[in-house]
Amino acid sequence: MEIDNKELEEMLTFLNAACDAVKDCHKAKFTCPICGSTAHVVKSRYNGHRHASCSGCDANFIE
């Protein structure tokens, strides 16, 4: 499988935006840097892991 650099760059941008959104809280909405829709992120109170998703472009991750 070949890695598409543009997709990788977009996902890293999405990941950074999500992490920044929950820097001082555990749940937040943020503007998806890929498509401009509203995305959601939650940070675990237990271990600090985050998961985020965007309904506009289906970008998502689970840490």
Structure-token pair, residue 7: 């997709």
Task: Provide the domain count of the chain.
Answer: 1
Residue 3: pLDDT band (50, 70, 90) is: confident
pLDDT for 2 = 79
Domain around 12: 5-62
Strand order across the 27-31 sheet: 27-31, 38-43, 50-54, 60-62
Q: What angle do CA 35, 38, 43 make, to 5 degrees?
A: 115
Per-residue pLDDT tens for 35-48? 999 999 999 999 99
